[in-house]
Amino acid sequence: MSGLETFRKETRAWLEKNCPAEMRKPMQSEEEICWGGRDWKFHSNAQRVWLERMADKGWTVPEWPKEYCGGGLSREEAKILQNEMRSLGCRSPLDSFGIWMLGPALLKYGNEEQKREYLPQIAQGKIRWCQGYSEPNAGSDLASLQTKAEDKGDYFLVNGQKIWTSYADKADWIFCLVRTDFSAPKHEGISFLLFDMKSPGVSTKAIPLISGKSPFCETFFTDVKVTKKNLVGTLNKGWDIAKYLLTHERTMIGGMGLRAAGRPVSQIAVDMVGLDEKGMLSDPVLRGKIAEVSIDEMAFVFALERAGDLAKAGQGNPAFSSVLKYYGSELNKRRYELLMAAGGGDALEWEGARSKEGALSRAWLRTKANSIEGGTSEVQLNIVAKRILGLPNA
């Protein structure tokens, strides 16, 4: 038996033994996600146990080095772990901006002290991070940001405002883009800082959403002191880190639909619409559309995997994350349009769950944001046109 086959068998056995039954059921809503953090209240004992067991093995971040509490797995092993988790229906033990975005950026740009300080806390779900990028006049044109950090000797003094900061009111720390040189061209005066959201001078204000929830905030900084130890990378070179982090964010958002998908669309639709006398989904038009989405989802899984392999081998084009972001977001929207069509009146239910998937209407509305967050679809198409197809500016 090959080494990888042995790894698969052992992994499966470990998951079967250690993943609590409750953590193998599809989530009913976003509320069941485990985000971790200083003040995290576990929804159940099973959620706590599952996080602790996976974190002990380093499997919340399977490919990170062991010295930072990662699993130290090879790409092939990590894929096996992912596939085995998927086939057993295991939930993700921990979702976090630290894992998806900041961690990869620190692994590349952080100094040793920063890696030792922050990466283990991310891997174990001890600190919850938020992302301070967008500002009222700097969204798609992010490099126009105006939040300023003045050099005060051994610290920076930060003043300004961020907007659309997801979970800022629940986060412990923020990774934040600030302007440290106002005289330089806009991309060259930006730095990348980390600071505690409990620092004096930080405040947040929730922004309600159409889905009835309010994960967003406006975030204000008034004379916030940030020690220089928390500057990541080189002063005024934060744009490189910002872009690198965005490639991870975009790949993550592209795959968001697949991760959250749970059961295949076809199975959900069978529950909702029923089968005809030939054992086929009784609505032929819906059947055709579901086949299309299912095939596209399968192709997208392979595209994601290929992009990951190329990136790991150092052969990826960073702009490909825009392809994944664009396609994955649009695909997720199509998936939920179909589920809404299949569900009919029941799908409009706002609270509770008439389907096994929970309140569909909220999930459907949430997909509308996929093509905005992390950079809009239009902006991704611009990047693809310029950086992949090599087309001239419009």
Site track for ligand FAD across 165-194, x = CB under 6 A: xx----------------------------
Interface with ligand FAD (CB under 6 A), residue total 20
Residue 164 binding ligand FAD, by CB under 6 A? yes
Residue 139 binding ligand FAD, by CB under 6 A? yes
CB of 382 to ligand FAD, least distance (A): 5
Stretch that binds ligand FAD, among 15-23, 133-141, 303-311, 351-359 (CB under 6 A): 133-141
CB of 96 to ligand FAD, least distance (A): 12
Q: Which of residues 102-131 bind ligand FAD (CB under 6 A)?
A: 130-131
Tokens of 118: 């922050």
Stretch that binds ligand FAD, among 35-43, 193-201, 285-293, 366-374 (CB under 6 A): 366-374
CB of 194 to ligand FAD, least distance (A): 15
CA-wise closest residue to 19 among 92, 120, 126, 72: 92
Residue 364 binding ligand FAD, by CB under 6 A? no
CB of 109 to ligand FAD, least distance (A): 18
CB contact at 8 A, 385 and 60: no
Site track for ligand FAD across 272-301, x = CB under 6 A: ------------------------------
Residue 201 binding ligand FAD, by CB under 6 A? no
CA-wise closest residue to 248 among 311, 315, 329: 311
CB of 214 to ligand FAD, least distance (A): 11
Residue 363 binding ligand FAD, by CB under 6 A? no
- Considering beta carbons, is residue 74 or 203 the nearer one to ligand FAD? 203
Residue 211 binding ligand FAD, by CB under 6 A? no
Residue 378 binding ligand FAD, by CB under 6 A? yes
CB of 132 to ligand FAD, least distance (A): 6
Residue 219 binding ligand FAD, by CB under 6 A? no
- Considering beta carbons, is residue 120 or 215 the nearer one to ligand FAD? 215
CB of 261 to ligand FAD, least distance (A): 18
**Residue 177 Cα distances to 111, 132, 161, 245, 357, angstroms:** 18, 6, 11, 11, 37
Residues that bind ligand FAD (CB under 6 A): 130-134, 139-140, 162, 164-166, 369, 372-376, 378-379, 382
